[in-house]
Structure 1
Amino acid sequence: MNRFLARSIQAGVVACGLIGLGALPATAAKDSITLAMPLEPPHLDPTAGAAAAIDEVVYANIFEGLTRIDSAGAVQPALAESWEVSDDGLTYTFALRSGVRFHDGTAFDSGDVKFSLDRAMAEDSTNAQKGLFESIASVETPDAETVVVTLKQPAGNLLFNLGWGDAVIVAPESVANNKTNPVGTGPFAFERWVKGDRVEMVRNGNYWGTPARLARATIKIIPDPAAATAAMLAGDIDAYANFPAPEALAQFEADPRFKVVIGSTEGETILAINNARGPLSDLRVRQALAHAVDRQAVIDGAMFGYGTPIGTHFAPHHPAYVDLTGSYPYDPDKAKALLAEAGYGDGLSLSLKLPPPSYARRGGEIIAAQLAAVGVATEISQVEWAQWLEQVFKGTDYDLTIVSHTEPMDIGIYGRETYYFNYQDADFKALMAKLNTTVEEGARYGLLAEAQEKLAADSVNVFLFQLAKHGVWNKDIVGLWENSPVQANDLTAVSWQ
């Protein structure tokens, strides 16, 4: 059916009531969108979970922070309309927007900011990115529209960090139910969640800023590549911002109904290693795994050529990137020699847990074959996303897994006291501590280069490729992000032309 077909108008009304009003438009502008994504979020509270799928639904749409990250990766004002930084870099004074209300009608003020930041920093916090707030010493509220954040030491990334989904502002009145009924201040309000199928939201008529152009938005969950392709071709969905079937992109490029956009993401895709697990605690074994994997073969076989090889945990589009792909060239003989040197000349067996994304499932089969060629047998387990979060991410019950880390500028995860890689290195932690207190850009880039080189030298993980963003959508849709500087399907400026 024509997407722009207007409602029919009775002939009598046209003749009797509209004579002399001029020509009527033949179509009515479409004001809703159905966008698909591959993974269903475990819940809808971005301040209480690590799954990227949470932010992909609610970031900028339902929830907002003091700052926000735009489509170019730059920091922009959000609930804070402006801020001032003291000369010593230790005090940030935020001026909040007035007249803002949460979707349930509750007024937004400085108390909500203090509540949100204190909650994120609390000892019992369930925030997956608690480290973002480590530099904060105190949060004060001199009045309803002013927040003063005092730091323990200068933090060069504070404004960027406050723009993450993990730092959105929530209200004490509604926070307890945000996992199933998210209440934010954004341009869209949550309507309903049909588990296993879709999340629906509607335009917030009381939004403090520029209203959303769309009256409704539905986010469908379609993980299967074949089903995603069929749904797009049939017109059941209007857009798929991270299309899971790269093998079908040529078909969409040849179809004039669609626009195909290949962008960049912050997704470092890795063969993650449990560094504390048996033979994997030996650097030589980890180096052997790195030499055994042919990155380009994985990109070609699992991603149909879409993806940029990486040699460390850092995005190639960032100006501080160091190309370390030559650190561990594909060399099966070298891999066998390193295994023999480590005492595993007769081979070893490891578990390989693969979450649902196609890059993991397809890539896992290819990598398993490459490892088998050097004597490393893998027992593959395909796990659902909730299982992966519980067993791998939280429980560290795994040897190897494949996942794309889509958080922006997240090299700091390797310096955490506890993280599922189980990488504990005092020198790396010292680098991160210095980076966190360094403001000058050139100095920060130098420290980031050192950190990248350290991770490669320690072969913490097998670094595979930077995930490309495969966008497929109706040619008449404008405003969708072409790149993914943060985990988001930002619909705030989307419309039909």
Structure 2
Amino acid sequence: MKRFATMLGAAALLLASGSASLSARSDIVLGVVLEPPHLDPTAGAAAAIDEIVYANVFEGLTRIGPDGQVRPALAESWEISDDGTTYTFTLQKGVTFHDGTTFDADDVKFSLERAMAEDSTNAQKVLFSAIDTVEAVDPTTVKVRLKHPQGSFLNNMGWGDAVIVAPESAATNKEHPVGTGPFMFDDWARGASVTLVKSPDYWGEPAALEKAEFRFIPDAAAAVPALLSGDVHAFPNLQAGDALPQFEADPRFEVVIGVTEGETILATNNGRKPFDQLKVRQAIAHALDRDDIILGATSGNGVPIGSHFSPANEAYLDLTDTYPHDVEKAKTLLTEAGYPDGFTATLKLPPPPYARQAGEIVASQLRAVGIDLEIIPVEWAQWLEQVFTNKDYDLTIISHTEPNDINIYAREDYYFNYDNPAFDAVMEELERTADPEERKALYGQAQRIIAEDAVNGFLFQLPKVGVWDARLEGLWENLPIQANDLTQVRWTD
């Protein structure tokens, strides 16, 4: 009996040990602010698309890692010609799409030529403008010839807009995305969440997670209790506000404050009166008090900017003193522009808390110089249609989270309605320049031009405030590209 009891106790310990092992989670629920309009990163500008599918469902020839550096992805390696105009990519072998179709050089050729096409709906079509031809040399070799050297080419191929899709599924990726990544699309409960599941046939290192749910929680007041209750395990970019100290003091959570590529701006319709006048835009720039805006919209965690450029970039220039906060100067400029009594305008604000909170402060600051703003809250789909696509707005607040995207100021018909041949010339020269120091100087020129033109009200670099269960590891500290990459995420117990 004694021996039996000992064996029974040992079995109980073994069972307990096994139960503890089995209890380690293999699923995760992430809170995200915005629901994407669809799930095809090659056919939309919304960052919310990439935040779900980049690196998880879709992959490109290259990818951007958590340190912002270019890494191999579907291309295991590449060679660059001496003149910098030909890139020969060697592709990974044994790769299939989630629907079972084979990945090869023809898919790369299809994807790049589709993005380059005259009727392309790719929101970042400029990424492919330097490409001359794409040749599928054999199933695992692709040769891309450029019209001229382009120092950013490998980085461009790592954007979500440059992921590789298959001709068999490209037309239906908006609703049912089919990629080559470690996770497969499972379900989209409209208005609630998108669910991904682990791909059983992934060509690379398998994901540790079996399932990932991206839950849409636009309201910070709802996000906090969802985290505290455990309904949501992680909020990679939480607008926590006054609740942040509560998480910092709670050992159940890890709080990680990093940086993003998100230049947060008071975007201005330069093609609409009176914003087509430089003095009006300069007056707005002088009326803005960045310190108050940053305190109110990011709890003081944002970094002030004076142009559309990330402070983390080595080519960054601190131009925040171009138009220092000066209410009287702003009033004088408005008078000189023909508006001694100010004017009225609209401020359309999308759902993110940083936009709504900053909008209230900006409206108050502009009111102090005579500009009376009507605040119009809009949903994300409305913002994309009215502001980004139709340019039906006066002012708006938004974070541009694409990396190193100052070139948007040279795009024809972009929603800022900005046109400056001098700036365009700098961008054209930058496009053809590969030397790092020369590129750095050109970036400096570009920053100065749009800062002095006060194209937009340059507010702050959006911080990345991550709050998640302390047992999780592998979530990114910084956000060098708009992504919630789950490929290395796992529970530690």
TM-score (structure 2 length as normaliser): 0.97
- The match for 1:25 is 18
Say if 1:22 and 1:136 are closer, same or farther in 2 by CA, change over 3 A.
Answer: same
- The match for 2:339 is 344
Contact 2:263 2:401 in 1 (8 A): yes
Deviation at 1:145, TM superposition (A): 0.6
Point out where structure 2 has 5 or more consecutive residues left out of the alignment.
none
Q: Confirm or deny that 1:40 pairs with 2:35.
A: yes
Deviations, residues 110-151 of structure 1 (Å, cap 9, x unaligned):
010011001101111000000000000010111111110000
Cα distance in 1 for residues equivalent to 2:457 and 2:402: 18
Deviations, residues 185-233 of structure 1 (Å, cap 9, x unaligned):
0000111011111111111111010000111111111110010001000
Paired residue total: 486
Contact 1:223 1:244 in 2 (8 A): no
| 3-state secondary structure, aligned to 1:319 | coil
RMSD (Å), alpha carbons: 1.7
Q: How does 1:269-348 map to 2 (within 5 A)?
A: 269-348=264-343
Contact 1:82 1:95 in 2 (8 A): yes
Q: Confirm or deny that 1:447 pairs with 2:433.
A: no
- The match for 2:459 is 464
- The match for 1:167 is 162
Amino acid at match of 1:25: G
- The match for 2:208 is 213
Contact 1:246 1:470 in 2 (8 A): no
Cα distance in 2 for residues equivalent to 1:105 and 1:459: 51
Deviations, residues 323-349 of structure 1 (Å, cap 9, x unaligned):
000011110000000000010001111
Say if 1:16 and 1:475 are closer, same or farther in 2 by CA, change over 3 A.
Answer: closer
Amino acid at match of 2:372: A
Q: Confirm or deny that 1:487 pairs with 2:456.
A: no
Cα distance in 2 for residues equivalent to 1:17 and 1:192: 43
Cα distance in 1 for residues equivalent to 2:125 and 2:160: 12
- The match for 1:8 is none
Q: Confirm or deny that 1:85 pairs with 2:85.
A: no
Q: Confirm or deny that 1:377 pairs with 2:376.
A: no
Q: Confirm or deny that 1:252 pairs with 2:247.
A: yes
Q: How does 1:191-230 map to 2 (within 5 A)?
A: 191-230=186-225
Contact 2:239 2:298 in 1 (8 A): no
Deviation at 1:304, TM superposition (A): 1.4
Point out where structure 1 has 5 or more consecutive residues left out of the alignment.
1-10
Deviation at 1:463, TM superposition (A): 0.1
Overall identity of the aligned pairs, in %: 61
Amino acid at match of 1:358: P
Q: How does 1:423-434 map to 2 (within 5 A)?
A: 423-434=418-429
Q: Confirm or deny that 1:116 pairs with 2:78.
A: no
TM-score (structure 1 length as normaliser): 0.96
Deviation at 1:181, TM superposition (A): 0.5
Contact 1:246 1:306 in 2 (8 A): no
Q: Confirm or deny that 1:243 pairs with 2:238.
A: yes
Amino acid at match of 2:17: L
Deviation at 1:279, TM superposition (A): 1.0
Contact 1:37 1:242 in 2 (8 A): yes
Cα distance in 2 for residues equivalent to 1:186 and 1:459: 42
Contact 1:349 1:377 in 2 (8 A): yes
- The match for 2:384 is 389
Amino acid at match of 2:350: P
